[in-house]
C-alpha cells in the first residue's frame, strides 16, 4: 500500500457528557457495539468503569463499587473471551498485593464483577504487575512481561486457561 496516496483514516469523535475524564495508563476492550474502558490515571489513580456505544456515540458509567470489582488500577490489561472481560494486574504495589490475585472477571450480560481468588490454589499464580501485555489465543489468555514491584522488568510468560 502506498502511504502517500491512501486517504487519512483517522477522525476525531465528538463526545458529549457524561464521558470519562482525561486519562492515561488505562485499558480498553471491544465487544459487540461497545468499547469498555477501565481505570488508569488522571492526577491520581482512577477506579471508574465505562461503556461506549459506537453506534449511538454515548458513554455510560458502569458500577465498579462491589466488593468483587477491582480497586484502582493502572497499566493493567483487559481481554475478552465469550462475553466475559478478564482484567489482570495494575494494582497499587503494597504488601496487600501479595495476598490478592490480580485477576477480575466482568460478565457483560449479567453486568457483574467477580474476583478470581487463586492464592489458595496448589498451582502457581502470577503476582501483580504493570505494563505487561495480554492476548487471547484459543481458550487461553497469555500474559507476558511487565514491571513487578521491587523486581523490576520481567520476562515471565503465563497462560490462564478459560476452562
Residue 12's pLDDT is what?
Answer: 92
Q: What is the pLDDT of residue 131?
A: 96
Q: What is the pLDDT of residue 96?
A: 54
How far is Cα 90 from Cα 70, in angstroms, rounded to an integer? 10
Average pLDDT for runs of 10 along the chain of length 163: 71 91 98 98 96 96 93 96 97 64 95 82 84 97 93 95 92
Q: pTM score, two decimals?
A: 0.90
- Read off the C-alpha cell for 51: 461503556
Q: State residue 8's pLDDT score.
A: 81
Half-sphere exposure of 148 (CA within 13 A, CB side): 13
- Specify the pLDDT at position 7: 78
Amino acid at each position: 500500500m502506498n502511504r502517500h496516496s491512501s486517504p487519512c483514516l483517522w477522525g476525531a469523535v465528538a463526545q458529549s457528557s457524561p464521558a470519562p475524564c482525561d486519562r492515561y495508563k488505562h485499558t480498553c476492550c471491544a465487544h459487540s457495539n461497545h468499547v469498555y474502558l477501565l481505570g488508569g490515571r488522571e492526577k491520581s489513580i482512577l477506579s471508574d468503569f465505562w461503556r461506549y456505544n459506537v453506534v449511538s456515540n454515548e458513554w455510560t458509567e458502569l458500577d465498579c463499587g462491589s466488593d468483587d470489582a477491582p480497586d484502582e488500577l493502572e497499566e493493567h490489561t483487559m481481554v475478552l473471551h465469550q462475553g466475559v472481560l478478564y482484567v489482570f494486574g495494575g494494582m497499587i504495589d503494597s504488601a496487600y498485593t501479595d495476598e490478592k490475585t490480580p485477576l477480575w472477571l466482568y460478565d457483560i450480560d449479567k453486568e457483574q464483577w467477580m474476583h478470581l481468588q487463586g492464592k489458595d490454589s496448589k498451582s502457581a499464580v502470577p503476582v501483580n504487575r504493570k505494563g505487561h501485555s495480554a492476548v487471547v489465543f484459543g481458550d487461553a489468555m497469555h500474559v507476558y512481561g511487565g514491571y513487578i514491584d521491587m523486581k523490576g522488568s520481567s520476562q515471565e510468560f503465563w497462560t490462564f486457561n478459560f476452562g
